[in-house]
Structure 1
Amino acid sequence: MSKVWFITGVTRGMGAKIAKAALASGDKVVATGRQQEAVTKVLGTSDNLFATILDVTREDQVKAAVQAAIERFGRIDVLVNNAGYGHLGVFEETTLEEIRAQYDTNVFGLMTVTHAVIPEMRKQRSGRIINISSVAGLKGVFGGSIYNSSKFAVEGFSQAIAEELAPFGIYVTAVSPGFFRTDFLDSSSVKYSNNAISDYAKALAEFRDFHDNRNHAQAGDPRKLADVILQLAQVEKPPVSFVAGSDGLEWAMIVNKQQKEQLDAWRNLSVSTDGTW
């Protein structure tokens, strides 16, 4: 039986690859983006494709898109929250407006779409929610305070609703890719703060060089990740957290090792807070 996918941020990158893979498998796809014409330019047209405008920061557009999807295909089986971008740079240089914009898309936009889709899946007593996170949601690093924290929020949100929705046959997976060859590091996607503070200049320049040198040279193949996401939507019991890419897996293992070492090092102080009553 074919599935109905609802995918955000389909105009390029991972969203486009996932939509193409789902269509190629014979599934139906509700493909959304800020410009409907851009969606159809990437995916073309077919009976199995419904392209609709959606800015995830606009609650009215979210509700309208979900309702239109139900009217067109009758159900939503797989939600892929892919829309997002990276705001990088030193926290002190970042404006509050930039912080809010990052969270409005990566966190609140994702939650708004999920909030609109859950009632339909709960009625069906089935569904898959796949939240595109990042290994940046596993460990904070210099220059990533805003993006890191937004993806930490996605990880925690996914784990919590996974427990809430499992009784209704709805499974949630946060997918955390490492570096994949998309436009994520391109100047058309990633954003940096412009309020330069000289004390951070050298370290920030090295940080930017590191990422600029990997732009469109990342190891991960987005087409293969799209195929993996199709598999995750099919398996009986998908993982709540899934790390993609050899570099992502190495990163996650380092994070786990460092966390264990820190817990062990401070164990005595940690347990010293227990009461003696």
Structure 2
Amino acid sequence: MASISESQVILITGCSTGLGRSLAEEALARGLRVIATARRLSAIEDLRDKGARILTLDVDDKPERLKSFSVEAIGAFGQVDILVNNAGWLLAGAIEENTPEEIQAQFNTNFFSVINVTTAFLPHFRSRKTGTIVNISSQGSYLALSGAGIYSASKAALECLTEVWSNELSPFNIRAVSVVLGAFRTSVATSNSKPPANTIEGYDIAHNFHRAFQARSGQELGDTAKAAKKLLDLVTLKTEKPLPARFALGEDAVYLTRKLLKRRLDELDEWDSYGMGTNVDGLRYEQADW
């Protein structure tokens, strides 16, 4: 086993509660060097007592400030090996009920901040020809939840972004994986969930979703401590195989992702005759090897 001074350095955003906290605690238990972040240091003081370096981070900060943060974070141990973009929140309500400001705020945290934080660390990863980017997504990206449509869309965008990164960063030996997270016992349904500023009568499906989502809080199937173990097993696995660009974590996420992908394939087969026959005369599509 590597000594503490030789172990990998993992930086995790959003460590106040939930999966971020469980990841920090599990990483410390494994002997990794941990940089735990939160908007308020008081929320993660106990992680410092357990051996983590703790830093203040607002992922919604401007890119210039995030670049300064990356310098500070890298300086803590001289390197960062694994970056976990975990911070996020859920905007509830029907899409029509969400204001432009709410929608922008949702994408700022769940999508644009991931670009900005990761971009701040990419020069470090590229110079060292190594690094792992872990973006925490949600099965909502596949479920397309009525009542959390903008949240689902932000996570779907995040998964596409991650898959692009997994391809274009591979020449630098940098890996990227999007974690399609199932329902776990976190604070997402309570303190990390925001109802819309306005409600519109008749959007019963959307409103019922949010009520049920909050009612189930604390009774979800998933245990974040077990999820942290599985996720760290994956990203620290010694293998020549590339990591999956999209990784379902949680029994419900594995089951529902498989079910929904099969449904999409069935739908494609059912309607493909309407999508074919559009080529310029005399030209055929040659299958590309992506």
User: What TM-score, normalized by structure 1, do the two folds share?
Assistant: 0.95
Partner amino acid for 2:92? L
Aligned counterpart in structure 1 of residue 188 of structure 2, from 173, 184, 191: 184
* Residue 216 (structure 1) aligned with residue 221 (structure 2): no
Identity %: 35
Matched-pair contact (CA < 8 Å) for 1:162–1:172: yes
What CA distance in whole angstroms lies between the structure 2 residues aligned with 1:61 and 1:102? 20
- Of 254, 259, 262, 2:264 maps to 259
Structure 1 position 134 matched with structure 2 position 138: yes
SS of residue paired to 1:199:
coil
1:124 aligns with 2:128: yes
Secondary structure at the aligned position of 1:230 is classed as helix
- Deviation sequence 1:135-175 (CA, Å, 0-9, x none): 11224121122101100111000000110111111111100
Separation in 2, partners of 1:255, 1:275: 33
2:13 to 8, 23, 28: 8
Q: Distance in 2 between matches of 1:250 and 1:18?
A: 23
User: What is the rounded CA distance, in whole Å, between the counterparts of 2:68 and 2:42 in structure 1?
Assistant: 17
Equivalent position of 1:157 in the other structure: 161
- 1:51-200, aligned counterparts within 5 Å? 51-59=54-62, 60-186=64-190, 188-200=191-203
Structure 1 residue 34, shift from structure 2 partner: 0.5
- Which amino acid in structure 2 is aligned with residue 229 of structure 1? L
Per the alignment, residue 241 of structure 1 pairs with: 246
Quick one: distance in 1 between partners of 2:205 and 2:136?
29
Helix, strand or coil at the partner of 1:198: coil
CA contact (8 A) 1:9 1:83 kept: yes
Deviations 1:91-124 (A, max 9, x none): 1111000001101100111111100111111111
Q: How far, CA to CA, are the matches of 1:271 and 1:245 in structure 2?
A: 37
- The whole-number CA distance in structure 2 between the counterparts of 1:196 and 1:205 is 9
Which structure 2 residue ranges, 5 or more long, are not aligned? 283-290
SS in 2 for 1:9: coil
1:229 offset after TM fit, Å? 1.5
| Cα distance in 2 between the residues matched to 1:230 and 1:45 | 22
Residues 53, 61 of structure 1: 8 Å contact kept: no
1:44 aligns to 2:48 (yes or no): yes
Contact residue 55 and residue 61 of structure 1 kept, 8 A? no
Alpha-carbon distance between aligned partners in 1 of 2:68 and 2:78, rounded to the nearest angstrom: 14
Residue 213 of structure 1: how far off its partner (Å): 2.6
Q: Does the CA-based 8 Å contact 1:33-1:55 persist in structure 2?
A: yes
For structure 1, the residue ranges without an aligned partner over 5 or more in a row are: none
Once superposed, what is the RMSD of the aligned Cα atoms? Answer: 1.3
SS, match of residue 250 in structure 1: helix
Change (3 A) 1:54 1:61: farther
Query: Do the aligned partners of 2:99 and 2:197 also contact (CA within 8 Å) in 1?
Result: no
In 2, Cα distance between equivalents of 1:205 and 1:87: 12
Q: 1:35: how far off?
A: 0.9
Residues paired across the two proteins, number: 273
User: Match of 1:77, as an amino acid?
Assistant: D
Q: Give the C-alpha shift of residue 61 in structure 1.
A: 3.8
Once the two structures are superposed, residues 8-49 of structure 1 have per-residue CA deviations (whole angstroms, 9 ceiling, x without a partner) of 0011111100011111111111111101221214x1325x52
Query: Can you list the C-alpha shifts for 1:180-220, whole angstroms capped at 9, x where unaligned?
Result: 1111111x1111103111122x3333212321232110001
TM-score normalized by structure 2?
Answer: 0.90
Counterpart residue number, 1:207: 209
